[in-house]
Structure 1
Amino acid sequence: MGEKKTKLEVVGWRELVHLPDLGLHALPAKIDTGARTSSLHATILEQFERDGERYVRFAVDFERQHVRQVCEAVHIDWRGITSSNGETQCRMIVKTPLRIGNVTFRAEVSLADRSDMKFPMLIGRSALRRRFVVDSGHSWLQSPGRDVEKGHTS
């Protein structure tokens, strides 16, 4: 009862997100409250150790632009992730700052082959919790400069 209500930012069902430490900006992402963990399309290149910490080097390919961004992040875990088709895969998990609109926070992200998916990134409910509410009838609510629908749903 004595819980204070904080105003949460509203996101649409798709948003442009930023992973500044990975050099990834304005990445189209699907907001998916059915998924627990966020996921990024990546090809794992190598695992290595630096200053006693485990790291992973991976590539994020933007095929339409013919661009490959090579990223490095601290590898925090391997985890069984169940995909939308019910199949469980063991995926590498990294933790990195994630920005949606003006909200920046550290998020756990699984590295996965999302080449058959429309969006290179999926934002799961763990990242959304206590930060955002989802308006599933709109897109790009936290993505200024993006073509926002004019009063109709997408």
Structure 2
Amino acid sequence: MASSATDTVAQAVTETRHQPAGQIGKTKVIGWREQIILPEFGSTHLDAKIDTGARTSALHAVDLAAEIRNGEEWVSFHVPYLGEQRSVRHSAKIFDRRKIRNTSGIAQVRYVIKTTLVLGVRQWQIEVSLADREKMKHDIILGRTAVRDQGLLVDPAKSYLAGAPVSDAPGKPPWRP
């Protein structure tokens, strides 16, 4: 019986060696940081940190203001693009308010919105909290719920394995595999 298990592992290793780079079976391997696009917020590439230790994703946003539009709660905010001298005002429907621990372990109530994420040639909807990440290195962190069920495996020793995000125009979905 032990040789059967050994044979199974050996077969899996052999099959993995014949996969395209960045691919294990149907699983896409991504790095611990990747370039992404959030099309609803423009076509600017954001440098994302994939943080499987964080449950919820967080986008750097400041000057948050909640308002009621047609009976629904919305939040408007500025997204200051790190490393650049510009900030763009956006708004989104509030999906939820959640108590989330910041990097210091202090619980904060944050607005959570839904948006489209483009990573390489893939796109899907994610939930992202809005937080002041000015002192952080990355514009956005992608938590484990954002990458769960997407057929992705994070290689913590590599960066930028997914390739540049593919989007034809802001707000227009890219090609899907």
TM range (shorter): 0.7 to 0.9
Do the aligned residues in 2 keep the contact of 1:14 with 1:28 (CA within 8 Å)? yes
Determine the structure 2 residue equivalent to 1:80.
99
Whether 2:155 is the aligned partner of 1:140: answer no
Q: Residues 73-120 of structure 1, C-alpha deviation per residue, up to 9 Å, x if partnerless?
A: 111111000123221111110111111111111110000010110001
Point out where structure 2 has 5 or more consecutive residues left out of the alignment. 1-24, 166-177
Identity %: 41
Specify which structure has the higher proportion of strand: 1
In terms of mean alpha carbon deviation, does 34-43 or 129-138 score higher?
Answer: 129-138
Partner SS, residue 80 of structure 1: strand
1:4-153 aligned at under 5 Å gives the runs 7-62=26-81, 64-131=83-150, 132-144=152-164
Point out where structure 1 has 5 or more consecutive residues left out of the alignment. 1-5, 146-154
Code of the aligned partner of 1:128: V
Do the aligned residues in 2 keep the contact of 1:57 with 1:70 (CA within 8 Å)? yes
Do the aligned residues in 2 keep the contact of 1:42 with 1:58 (CA within 8 Å)? yes
Deviation of 1:63 after TM superposition, in Å, equals: 5.1
Which aligned runs of 4 or more in structure 1 are off by greater than 4 angstroms? none
